[in-house]
Chain A
Amino acid sequence: MLVELRNIRKSFGKNHVLKDVSLSIKEGEICALLGENGAGKSTLMNILGGIHQPDTGSIYVEGAEVKLTGPEHSINLGISFIHQELNLINDLPIYENMFLERDYKKGFKRVQHQKMIQETKKIFERMHVDLDPRTLVKDLDSSYKQIIEICRAITMNASVIIMDEPTTSLTDSEIERVFTMMRRLRDQQVGIIFISHKLKEVMEVCDSYAVLRDGKLVSEGQVSDVTTKDLARFMVGYDVRTDRLVQQRHRGEEILRAEELTYNTDFFNISFSIHQGEVVGFTGLLGDGRSELFQSIFGANDISTGKLFLYGKEIKIHTTMDAIKNGIAYLPRNRKENAIIKDMDILENSAIASWNMHAKWGIIQNRVHREKLDTLQKQLKIRMTGSSSSILNLSGGNQQKIVLAKWLSTEPRILILDNPTQGVDVGAKEDIYDIILRLADEGIGVIILSSEANEILRLCNRTYVMYHGHLQGVLEGEEMNEQSIMELATGGDAFISKS
């Protein structure tokens, strides 16, 4: 047993986050730690990482009981925590990041660049990483950043590595790269705790699993004994749908048409259209340019060349205000950076995009916004205590629903959703899918940008696949499946469509 947590309890004020949880990790085991947001995963891992101290319960590292005093203590005992927000300095080269705050830079000693480079090379050879240690971290894609973190953990002689949702911002091929790395670590007898919301990944890479719900361990065992459906049930406490939700609706009027949109090196000659009653997907791998394309359509990035037609009439969008006036709404990816305003309360976060629509003489009509939020709270099943508390008090799923409420209050005709279920737990995910389908029923054109093929397949009537800024093809009906999407997304053209 590498690490064992026994009967851990932890409360923050009146909030009992962990209620008697035990968990253990063996050498050469990848253990999935599962649970919805707020189930207590992060708190449990923060305790193992030395960031929080448990109220009661004990921690054993290689058989000996320890009292972790802080993050450094955990690291010294061989426990490395790779946080979701990577702890790398973009403007430094890889090798300096590998040795941040460590020996080769300590005190007044000369910084030993050569030595750090050599050490980094050694680690890279061992882990089969093909990178130049002198590359700046900002020039790396997200998967390599993750890999650098893993390598750093290894240089610190980690015997247990905690990975908090390492794959959220990665594309399929990048995820594969990280998985290969994880398997290599397993072969070298390292124990890994893998936190993820993506059950398919858990099935693919993990050996064992442990599920937390409401601060309790509700299930644990070998991954080979269960299905994703079982895991989802353990997490939410009831059966979760996994079926296709696509509905054939009457294909109405054309809402939006784009012709030959091009911008710089981001995207080229993009033409597409969306009709009433349709849910249209845009998918591809990282760097496919779909976010840039729709941010530009929304007026958030520089304007592209080409034409946009709304209900057959050409429109010009220069700013996000223009887009909103024209009934276009865009829910961005990376909620925390792009959507949440942490210094404002829930009501304000839900109303910010529609302030101007209702304001009289520049005065915000809070009554109108409060009524709207009340209605939307019921429709979207938002769980919150009061509209004047901080948005940060909400779970990820409820935060995302508030962001969705913000856009629904602008009464959009087109709703663009970029990674709508990022960092959202299983239950809230299904709620969001329901909302999407209902909006499509109401005649709102819904565009979903997602790299999760499963999400696209379950929701979309039609899917455009992008590759390096080009529209590689469009898939519909029978021809839409994981394999055809993958083939187009990686640059293949077997499925270039007729439509």
Chain B
Amino acid sequence: MTEKNINRFHQFITWFKDRWSTSPLFSIFIALIVMVILQTIVLGFDYNSFGEWFTSWTNNWINILRNNASVAIVALGMTFVIMTGGIDLAVGATLVATGALTMTLLDVGASGLLGSIGITGWPAILITIIAVIIFGYLLGSLIGVTVTRGMVPPFIATLGAMMVFRSVTQHFMQGSAPRVPSEFLQISNLQIGNYMIMPIIYWILIAAIMYYISKRTTFGRQIIAVGSNERAARLSGINVKQVKFRVYALSGMLVAIAAIIQVSRIGSMDFAGSGRGMEMDAIAAAVVGGTSMMGGRGFILGTVYGVLIISVLNNLLNLFGVPPLLRDAFKGIIVIAAVLLQRKEKTS
């Protein structure tokens, strides 16, 4: 190495150390890169050609991303909720409630709501999507009103909502086996150049919008203000109740979108099992991504990294052949490790 190169190397190290100690997003991003490299190595290079290896690697990644698109979208809404200092435990239950509505509206059988009034095909699908998103908004609003008007702590309000939403859904859906029209499956399964990547596209789009909202809009910045110092926010002319109401409503809408993606992926939904533990996965992704449970600090980009880290981890555990029942232990360790990693020394 020449003198110049050594110098450059030193500069890089200083820059790296500085970024590492000041930016939580940076350390998370590095952690993600390290895991992706590890995963790549574990996948192996035992292929005839580079092309073959690349195809296999890409397919593996598309699978990972597609499988995690719904929880990733839910985690984005969760991030906003947590940034206000709240929590939304009802996302899994909202998922089955909105999923159930999707299937009931679209059912091609005798009990299909839209079918029975003569609306079928793409118009029915369009109406369903709009109706389901509105329904998700309403369910979220219900929580929002309970939290803001009823002054019920978010943990309690959403815990209650979680039980109510799932139980009511299961009751009304018992014994019925709605089937959705095959066109509907196109929403998630449409192939683009041989790749089934529609869910990934929805995820990226929504993440981009959420990123913009969090950085540039009054709503996005007010979320930080409310989460950081609610009293000061109110005394600065921010409608704190409106901001809180909106994050729950928005979370409900994003869950509805996730439900539509999930139903259109496989054409059905298990109302007892789907979305169970989803709230924990979403919270974990947000926390790994640097969002503070105390509110006031959070990163949309961090949540995207968080989802990726957890999915790569799942993939790795799978590749290593770790027994399924042990996998959550690793997930738990990663969540705690991520928070430890971000715990920056306080400067006086």
Contact = CB atoms under 8 A, between A and B. Distances in A.
B221 A348 contact: yes
Contacts of A356: 218, 237
B231 A355 contact: no
Interface string B192-206: 000000000000000
A343 B237 CA distance: 17
A344 interface: yes
B225 interface: yes
A50 to B, nearest CB: 14
A323 interface: yes
B237 A362 contact: no
A330 B219 CA distance: 22
A359 B228 contact: no
B147 to A, nearest CB: 18
B235 A330 contact: yes
A362 B228 contact: no
A330 B231 CA distance: 13
A321 B239 contact: yes
Interface in B218-240: 218-219, 221-222, 224-225, 227-229, 231-239
Nearest to A43: B348
9 contacts: A12-B347, A12-B348, A337-B229, A337-B231, A338-B235, A339-B232, A364-B221, A406-B236, A410-B237
- Candidate in A323, A348, A355, A410 with the most chain B CB atoms within 10 angstroms: A355
A156 interface: no
Interface string A303-321: 0000000000000000111
B297 interface: yes
Contacts of A337: 229, 231-232
Nearest to A42: B348
Contacts of A330: 235
B4 interface: no
B197 to A, nearest CB: 30
Given A300-B234, A319-B239, A352-B236, A341 B228 contact: yes
A332 interface: yes
A340 B235 contact: no
Contacts of B171: none
A128 interface: no
A52 interface: yes
Contact of A344 (B216, B221, B239): B221
B229 A341 contact: yes
A353 interface: yes
B347 A343 contact: no
Contacts of B235: 298, 300, 320, 330, 332, 338-339
A64 interface: no
A12 B239 CA distance: 39
Contact of A353 (B216, B236, B347): B236
A300 B235 CA distance: 6
A82 to B, nearest CB: 19
Contacts of A298: 235
Nearest to B347: A12
B219 A362 contact: yes
Contacts of A341: 224-225, 228-229, 232-233, 236, 296
A386 B301 CA distance: 25
A353 B235 CA distance: 9
Contact of A342 (B229, B234, B239, B348): B229
Contact of A320 (B224, B225, B236): B236
Given A341-B225, A343-B227, 14 more contacts: A319-B239, A320-B236, A321-B239, A337-B229, A339-B235, A340-B229, A343-B297, A344-B224, A344-B228, A356-B237, A364-B217, A366-B216, A406-B236, A410-B237
A52 B348 contact: yes
Nearest to B292: A343
Contacts of A319: 239
A298 B235 CA distance: 9
Contacts of B216: 363-364, 366
6 residue pairs, one from A and one from B, having the closest CB atoms = A343-B228, A343-B296, A324-B237, A320-B237, A352-B236, A355-B218
A426 B229 CA distance: 28
Contacts of A352: 221, 225, 233, 236-238
Interface in A14-52: 52
B226 to A, nearest CB: 9
A231 to B, nearest CB: 28
